[in-house]
Amino acid sequence: MKKEIRHRINNSIFSQEVRLIGDNVENKVVDTKIAINIAKEMGLDLVEISKANDGMSICKITNYDKFVYEKKKKEKEQKKKQKLTQTSVKEIRLGPNIDDHDFNFKAVNARKFLKDNDKVLVTVFFRGREITFKEKGEIVLLRFAEELSDIGVPEYLPKMEGRKMAMMIKPKKKIK
Tens of pLDDT along 82-106? 766 566 888 999 988 888 899 999 9
Q: Are residues 93 and 67 in the same domain?
A: no
* Cβ neighbours of 75 (radius 10 Å): 10
Nearest CA-CA partner of 111 in 85, 82, 87, 147: 147
Q: What is the pLDDT of residues 70-85, one digit of tens each?
A: 888 988 888 877 766 5
Q: Are residues 102 and 157 in the same domain?
A: yes
User: For residue 51, what is the domain's CATH number?
Assistant: 3.10.20.80
For strand 89-94 and strand 57-62, is the pairing parallel, antiparallel, or unpaired? Answer: unpaired
For residue 86, the model assigns a pLDDT of 62
Q: Are residues 96 and 66 in the same domain?
A: no
Residue 4 belongs to some domain of the structure: no
Residue 76 belongs to some domain of the structure: no
User: For residue 105, what is the domain's CATH number?
Assistant: 3.30.110.10
Nearest CA-CA partner of 94 in 72, 116, 127, 65: 127
Half-sphere exposure (Cβ direction) of 4: Cα atoms closer than 13 Å = 4
Is residue 1 scored above 60 in pLDDT? no
Residue 28 belongs to some domain of the structure: yes
Is residue 32 scored above 70 in pLDDT? yes
Q: What is the pLDDT of residues 95-139, one digit of tens each?
A: 888 888 999 999 999 999 888 888 899 999 888 888 888 888 888
Rounded to whole angstroms, the Cα distance separating 141 from 123 reads: 8
Rounded to whole angstroms, the Cα distance separating 171 from 145 reads: 11
Q: Are residues 100 and 162 in the same domain?
A: yes
Rounded to whole angstroms, the Cα distance separating 115 from 165 reads: 24
What is the phi/psi pair of residue 62, to 5°? -160, 170
Q: How many domains does the chain fold into? A: 2
Domain around 57: 10-71
Helices (H) and strands (E) in the chain, counts: 4, 9
For residue 174, the model assigns a pLDDT of 62
Q: Are residues 107 and 164 in the same domain?
A: yes
Q: Are residues 93 and 57 in the same domain?
A: no
DSSP collapsed to 3 states, 89-122: EEEEEECCCCCHHHHHHHHHHHHHHHHCCCEEEE
Q: What is the pLDDT of residues 4-27, one digit of tens each?
A: 557 777 777 777 788 887 777 777
Residue 166 belongs to some domain of the structure: yes
Model pTM above 0.85 = no
* Cβ neighbours of 58 (radius 10 Å): 15
Q: Which residues pair with 124 in a beta bridge?
A: 94, 165
